[in-house]
Structure 1
Amino acid sequence: MKMIVRSALLAATILTPGALAAQDNDNASSADAAEQDNDPDSGNVIIVTARKKEESIQDVPVAVSAFTSEDLFEQGIRDIEDLSRRTPGFVFDTPFGRQFDRPIIRGQANILGDSGVSVFIDNVNVTQSIRSLNFGDIDTIEIIKGPQSALFGRNTYSGAINITTRQPTNDFGGEFSFEIGEDNLYELLGNVRGPIVEDKVFFSIAARYYDFQSEFDIPSNANPSVGNESSFSIGGTLEVRPTPGWTTKFRLAYNEDDDGHFPIGLLGFEDLNVNVPGGIDLGGDQPFFQGVVPTAPPNPSGPPQIPDVIGPGGGLEREEFFFSMNNEFELGEYTLVSTFGYTREDFRDLIDSDGQPESFGTARIFGPFPAVFAPPPAPPGTIIGVGVGLLPFDFTTNDDDLQETYVAEIRLDSPQDRPFRWRIGGYYFRNDEEDDVLLDAFTPERDAAIIASEQATLSQVAAAFGAAFAFNAAGPLDLAPPPPEESTIENFSVFGSVAYDFSDRLTATAELRWAEEQQRLRVFDRDTGVLTSLADGSPFDVEATFNAVTPRFIIDFDATPDNLVYASASRGTKPGGFNGAQGFEFGFGTFDEESVWQFELGSKNAFFNNQLIFNIAGFFSTLTDYQLTENLAALGAASTVGSVTANLGDVDIFGVEIDAIWSPQALPGVTLGGNYAWTDTEFTDGTEATQGAVFGDPDLTGQSLPRQARHQASFYADYDVELTDDFSALFSVNGNYLSSRFAQVQNLAETGESFELDARITFDYRDNLSLTFYGRNLTNEDAPLGVLRFLDPSGGNGSFVVNGVVIENGFNLASAGQSRGFQYNNRRSRRFGAILRYRF
């Protein structure tokens, strides 16, 4: 059996003898690398491309965690969420199932809007989700920490995820695996690689089928598909070498997902304990929750609430298409590299966004308005009629979106074996998105439910006032779907770098990128197809331009051949953008760019003839114009509920990351390791409207960022033992810890800490046939995967009271007394399974 080598937080792992050899990328021959890869005694180190060139992971002066295909299999890493649990400093929230990606690196979190982490697959920046990416079709995956804007470009503000897929080889080979687990989990993976024309044309093809019926899909749950997931994907790469100095790689891939409604619950208004009667009084007037949000079995709406548009109970349907072409030309001693990529994502979802079994179509109170009718000669104080503001809400979220992305890059590299090296290049990125809703979800049943709710609400309000009648002072209910939107992002940049070796041990590097990004948002009338109008009467066709200069400076010193010390300073930016039609309607249409300077000092070390790997890095980040969510009602919008992205202020982040791996020669087959990240975030300046509503003071100074864990750690222990000449066994255990994370900048509601323990036993026959038995989450951890502030739309929740009477059919959307609730996403419990794998 090949020795497992764990990838680590800080670029940490030299592969021990018997591990996989160097992984290929666009700068090297994958076929040649594969010949080494087939040699179990090659003893090569992991090769990463964190600086867009091949470097040993222990020699690159950048914080990067790298996982090979064998790492992914042996550690049971099936998706990006599993990967984040093995990578301190990297958090990947999944509060919306597989609908959206929300990666966080080094604390730079967001709620709405784009993450500061971009994903690259075979050098192509992809904007589509990677939640269902086929991990069986990956050669290497790198989590690169810190701003990567200088070399990787757009929106690598806090880091990048760099993926190299299975590459073609000059030798025929491949593998197949079949996994079966509890809750009807089935996964079939296969990949085959080899030559078509020896030394000239090579191929690689991989496919995946995955199906899972969640533990939450039970008869007592109204939703017939909650938590279920299904995927199919196929992809392949063709490598062609027309001449000795020219290599071209073409890749095509397709993926489709069909998921049920993700498991979700709601901590309701009745459980709030801040700024509510009898609760903790913090001096403000907006109800909130303080403490760890407790979880209960999920209870999303079932078919009576969600129309059967994309399957019973709602959920997700997604199709993704990927194409890339990478070229490398040797021009004498120089190298010309080009990349072209195209991705397309068709995304349809229908979810119950309140996490309750009721409240599909309702008219909700916003008021009341001071409209009282008591005309003479009625006695003074007599109320004949009262006007109340009512708005329609069905508390479902549905999307019918299409986005296409085009990427092109070209660069010229000087010879890399000289003391002075340079690079220059240009980059183009374009993303077109059509944002619409599922029109079939706007059914007559929905409209009838909302109108009935309106009438019931008016009756209750009239009775509470002692009035003869009540009417909707907001006018007739607008039951039509929102208008479609089209957005375009176009980014052009030039970049370059220079490096100089002052000696065999000391090197300085400077990198720089200039970028200009243009964004455009248009909103159309659904019936006429013409542009709608802004508040000033002009057409809803808005544009914005953002310019950025993002340098990075690195100095690294080889204290010994096995000990590297480095320091870096880098700047990153996250572009500004638009908040959509609703944001413009209420004066919060745009937000500005966010920027960061990060300073890092690190050391990578190998001791005792590589028996011990110990790496440590410390960093300080100072963020300006931090982008985060603000509630429209708290901002003063008087007739809607929703959120926008805003620039709240400035933030400082301090962090330390440690990684250690020990493979003692005195204990053959034993590998022990662990890693730890401490991340401290703090607002140094800024204000936020909800902060003011809760605390009576909008100042954020001293508050921590949401969604980031202060402490994150993992450990592992492996024992690889030869049983006979043909049989071996591997015993492995992993533990992963994440400290509690705040839901919002108010630092009140939080997830609670979590600890999961996994174990695996693998029996291997002649290094090509293996059987693995595993247990996941053996601690049966049930802390929520994520917590999100929302509303509680349950009738009669107590948020709206008239003359001492709770209105049973409504709640208050106003800032004071607003019906707050907190969504949470349920974690999978303890589960077991087995994997049969054949390699050839």
Structure 2
Amino acid sequence: MRAVLFVSCAVVALSGGSAMAQTAADSMMIQEVVVTAQKRSENLQDVPVSVTALSGDALTARGVTNVTGLNNLAPGLRVSSGDAAANPKIFIRGVGLSDFNPNSSSGVGIYVDGVYVSSPLAQMAGFFDIGQIEVLRGPQGTLYGRNTNGGAVNVTTKRPTHTFSAEAAAEYATYNAVNLTGAVSGPVIEDVLSVRAAGQVVRDDGTTYNRVTGNDVNATDYWAIRLSALYTPHEDVEALFQVNRFVNRGDATQPQHRALFPFTAEATGPDGFCAPTAYGSGLCGDAFGYSDTDGDDRALDANAEGKDKIDLFGASAQVDWDLGAISLVSVTAYSWAHRNAFENTDSSPNQMLEINYLARQNQFTQELRLQSNDSADGRLKWVAGGYYMDETVEDASTQDVLRDLRPLFPDGFSLADSVAAFSYPYTQKTKSYAFFGQADYQLAERLTATVGLRYSADEKSFDYRSQAEGGLIVLLTSQQEKTFSAWSGRLGLRYEVNDDLNLYATYNRGFKSGGFFGGLATTPEELIPYDNEQLDAYEVGLKSELFDRRVRLNMSAFYYDYQDQQVFAQALRNGLTVLVLDNAANSEVYGAEIEATARLSENLSIDAGLSLLDATYGEYFSEGDDFTGNRLPQSPEVTFNAAANYRHPLPQGGELVGSLDAAYSSKVYFDNSNAERLSQDAVWVVGAQGGWQAPDGRIELGLFARNLFDETYKVSISNIDSLGVDLLTLNRPRSLGAYLRYRY
């Protein structure tokens, strides 16, 4: 933190010393970045919010095809998933949620073209034909839909154009990986109606070998399409209509199996489980005695292989009506998501645990905003509006537990021994209402104050039943209704030191709705509604451009008081390890972030970001364990990312283009216990790309390497202590390939 304050003082001194600035041509200046973080187009440097903007070209260069590819691309951002095509775990500055049940919602909101994507079933789609992605850190409740106490990921796709354009890209890489994208755009009625069609196909043969079947598993296979129309019947009215479809038929994630029950005293660690030195030695086994002993992280023994079938549909309409002094904005959207996934959860040759996830979600949202256009004196800008969401989630998932032991029991199952197929069909209906407003007022020539306020209410009904053997035995039924409401708000000051330096200080109160646990429950206590969580965030920052705008340097420092935190925790029920969601703890989070962009020459630019984070639980006891003072899951102390882009003109025309990127994360814990076995040590990941671009810029071809040094690391761990197994989801191995891109 002292280093951050020192650099802050240096920035102020440099920005005020015009004698040190050197005259530079416009070609050496960093390009202005326009963001919509405050629901209007503004220069990134003028927005008193900690935000990272990622261009579509930058995402393409790094091979980002879904939200998990954003991991570590912005300071403080962590994204992972234990599933193939659903349920991303998104954390910003340590705030997020690991719950994978379809009725849960993260503290980080995802928005695609202004539409809130509520369902975790749908949050892995839509990452193609991207214009820009903005990562907003900290609570954003006074302007954004719901549950944004951690931040927001704002995705903007490319809009229809009034002139004909087309683009296409093809990649081929290791494991027969294919990524095809394309878009066509142009006018139907000149200056009145334009349309755009964009699509994507992504597939590969699988990155892991199954020794039981001889097949490759963990294969990717999905396609998506988006149709959009821009209708401008009058110069003051603009309407953007979109329809999208996403279909995934790839493999369910097949994790690596790590046995935990020791067979000998020598193989026993201090926690009673297998000692790390004995992993894979054959001296430890799972509940059935199996252990994967070959030491190959890209091979396993699975008696069954499953698919993660995801079907998504969405339609939206955004209408902007310029009324002179104010504008009216309406965003209407409808979507549905279906999932049918069979998962060989134990990843072993035995039938120990298999899960069939069956879930459906549909959602209707309506947002209306009135917002000021530039006033006569330009001193006041404001936004006021309302938000409504109607969502239904239906789940009928089944967990088949210890099936190989069924012959031992006369009835073919035994609830007392957890040998049965358990299911928990439920329906959750949510009606969400919110009213919000935010005003920015120029108190003096260079001083602007911000005030924002929001009221939110979620009316939830929950009809739940847990049962065994297809309903033969009913374990528990529950019908509940509850409304969760809260006020949230924002206060801020921004001071413009000069045209190239802004300072800001903000206070934000974030809120995330309470709700009902959507996993397997066998006792009424597990279904007691959990309450809202609340986050009070204090932040100071600066945004600067130096050396005739050849360097952009943005910094922030923050402190969070995180109260009634919703924690996804492990518990033992009837001898079986289950996961429950509860208000388990309060936490303190503080840290600092630095982002820099430098234009070192006409042909060379560098971007970098650094995050320093301290995120720990306050008093927290769970199932008799004391987790007080433990680090929050998915909150590394240090993350760093950097990218260098170079262009070299050729005498005969055209250019050589290349990029090099790197990302670093310090140690990460995946569990509240901070157990060493449930963590990932520090890791660096490096990528590179190089190619040739035609003189007119229309054609580019080249080679790329992602995860250049073939690092293997864990992105998620599911620990099932009662069955003696940890399930390790690993990153993708090194990918070497070639690309061809065309623009018209």
Which interval holds the TM-score relative to the shorter structure?
A: 0.7 to 0.9
Equivalent position of 1:369 in the other structure: none
Q: How does 1:498-577 map to 2 (within 5 A)?
A: 498-523=439-464, 540-577=478-515
Aligned AA for 2:356?
A: N
Alpha-carbon separation, structure 2, partners of 1:171 and 1:346: 37
Alpha-carbon separation, structure 1, partners of 2:72 and 2:123: 14
How far residue 84 of structure 1 moved from its aligned partner, in angstroms, is 2.1
TM-score scaled by length of structure 1: 0.77
Determine which of 676, 684, 690 is the counterpart of 2:618.
684
Alpha-carbon separation, structure 2, partners of 1:472 and 1:76: 47
What is the CA deviation profile of residues 709-765 of structure 1, one whole-angstrom value per residue up to 9, with x for unaligned ones? Answer: 111101222221111363101121111111121121221231112111111102100
Equivalent position of 2:406 in the other structure: 451
Aligned AA for 1:651?
A: S
8 Å CA contact 2:261–2:274 kept in 1: the answer is no
Determine which of 670, 695, 698 is the counterpart of 2:604.
670
Alpha-carbon separation, structure 2, partners of 1:98 and 1:320: 11
Matched, 1:202 2:106: no
What is the CA deviation profile of residues 137-173 of structure 1, one whole-angstrom value per residue up to 9, with x for unaligned ones? Answer: 2111111110111210311120111111110111111
Equivalent position of 2:327 in the other structure: 335
Alpha-carbon separation, structure 2, partners of 1:239 and 1:292: 62
8 Å CA contact 1:225–1:261 kept in 2: the answer is no
> 3-state SS of the aligned residue for 2:715?
coil
8 Å CA contact 1:403–1:434 kept in 2: the answer is yes
Q: How does 1:398-547 map to 2 (within 5 A)?
A: 398-417=356-375, 418-437=378-397, 449-454=404-409, 479=420, 482-523=423-464, 540-547=478-485
Aligned AA for 2:167?
A: E
Equivalent position of 1:795 in the other structure: none
- Relative distance call for 1:290 and 1:647 in structure 2 (3 A) is farther
Matched, 1:80 2:14: no
Matched, 1:704 2:645: no
Equivalent position of 1:785 in the other structure: 715
- Relative distance call for 1:447 and 1:682 in structure 2 (3 A) is closer
Aligned AA for 1:451?
A: R
Equivalent position of 2:284 in the other structure: none
Equivalent position of 2:648 in the other structure: 721
> 3-state SS of the aligned residue for 2:631?
coil
Matched, 1:613 2:573: no
Alpha-carbon separation, structure 2, partners of 1:151 and 1:114: 18
- Relative distance call for 1:581 and 1:541 in structure 2 (3 A) is farther
Matched, 1:143 2:143: no
Equivalent position of 1:366 in the other structure: none
8 Å CA contact 1:708–1:741 kept in 2: the answer is yes
Matched, 1:122 2:109: no
Alpha-carbon separation, structure 1, partners of 2:159 and 2:413: 64
How far residue 293 of structure 1 moved from its aligned partner, in angstroms, is 8.9
8 Å CA contact 2:105–2:118 kept in 1: the answer is no
Equivalent position of 1:775 in the other structure: 705
8 Å CA contact 1:299–1:357 kept in 2: the answer is no
How many positions carry a matched residue from both structures?
694
Alpha-carbon separation, structure 2, partners of 1:318 and 1:428: 26
Matched, 1:829 2:730: no
Which sections of structure 2, spanning at least 5 residues, go unmatched?
A: 1-7, 9-26, 281-294
8 Å CA contact 2:566–2:581 kept in 1: the answer is yes
- Relative distance call for 1:416 and 1:616 in structure 2 (3 A) is same
How far residue 652 of structure 1 moved from its aligned partner, in angstroms, is 0.2
> 3-state SS of the aligned residue for 1:71?
helix
What is the CA deviation profile of residues 223-255 of structure 1, one whole-angstrom value per residue up to 9, with x for unaligned ones? Answer: 735110111111111111122211111100111
8 Å CA contact 1:301–1:352 kept in 2: the answer is no
> 3-state SS of the aligned residue for 1:58?
helix
- Relative distance call for 1:104 and 1:474 in structure 2 (3 A) is closer
> 3-state SS of the aligned residue for 1:772?
strand
- Relative distance call for 1:292 and 1:779 in structure 2 (3 A) is farther
> 3-state SS of the aligned residue for 2:521?
helix
How far residue 514 of structure 1 moved from its aligned partner, in angstroms, is 0.1
Determine which of 722, 730, 737 is the counterpart of 2:664.
737
Equivalent position of 1:170 in the other structure: 162
> 3-state SS of the aligned residue for 2:594?
strand
Alpha-carbon separation, structure 1, partners of 2:636 and 2:660: 23
Alpha-carbon separation, structure 2, partners of 1:712 and 1:272: 39
> 726-735 or 81-90: which moved more?
81-90
Alpha-carbon separation, structure 2, partners of 1:681 and 1:315: 36
8 Å CA contact 2:353–2:403 kept in 1: the answer is no
Equivalent position of 1:62 in the other structure: 49
- Relative distance call for 1:721 and 1:116 in structure 2 (3 A) is same
For the pair shown, which has the larger CA radius of gyration, 1 or 2? 1
Q: How does 1:345-360 map to 2 (within 5 A)?
A: 345-358=337-350, 360=351
8 Å CA contact 1:193–1:203 kept in 2: the answer is yes
8 Å CA contact 1:134–1:208 kept in 2: the answer is no
- Relative distance call for 1:501 and 1:280 in structure 2 (3 A) is same
How far residue 776 of structure 1 moved from its aligned partner, in angstroms, is 1.1
- Relative distance call for 1:770 and 1:344 in structure 2 (3 A) is same
What is the CA deviation profile of residues 188-231 of structure 1, one whole-angstrom value per residue up to 9, with x for unaligned ones? Answer: 11101111111111111101111111231x36353735110111
What is the CA deviation profile of residues 533-579 of structure 1, one whole-angstrom value per residue up to 9, with x for unaligned ones? Answer: 896xxx62211211110101121111110111111110111211112
How far residue 641 of structure 1 moved from its aligned partner, in angstroms, is 3.4
- Relative distance call for 1:69 and 1:630 in structure 2 (3 A) is closer
Cα RMSD, aligned residues only:
3.1
- Relative distance call for 1:501 and 1:396 in structure 2 (3 A) is same
Q: Which has the higher contact order (CA 8 A, sep 6+)?
A: 1
Which sections of structure 1, spanning at least 5 residues, go unmatched?
A: 1-9, 11-39, 307-312, 361-393, 459-470, 693-697, 792-812, 814-818
8 Å CA contact 2:122–2:312 kept in 1: the answer is no
8 Å CA contact 1:80–1:130 kept in 2: the answer is no
Equivalent position of 1:628 in the other structure: 567
- Relative distance call for 1:790 and 1:241 in structure 2 (3 A) is same
Alpha-carbon separation, structure 2, partners of 1:234 and 1:45: 31
> 203-212 or 476-485: which moved more?
476-485
- Relative distance call for 1:405 and 1:448 in structure 2 (3 A) is closer
How far residue 676 of structure 1 moved from its aligned partner, in angstroms, is 0.8
8 Å CA contact 2:692–2:702 kept in 1: the answer is yes
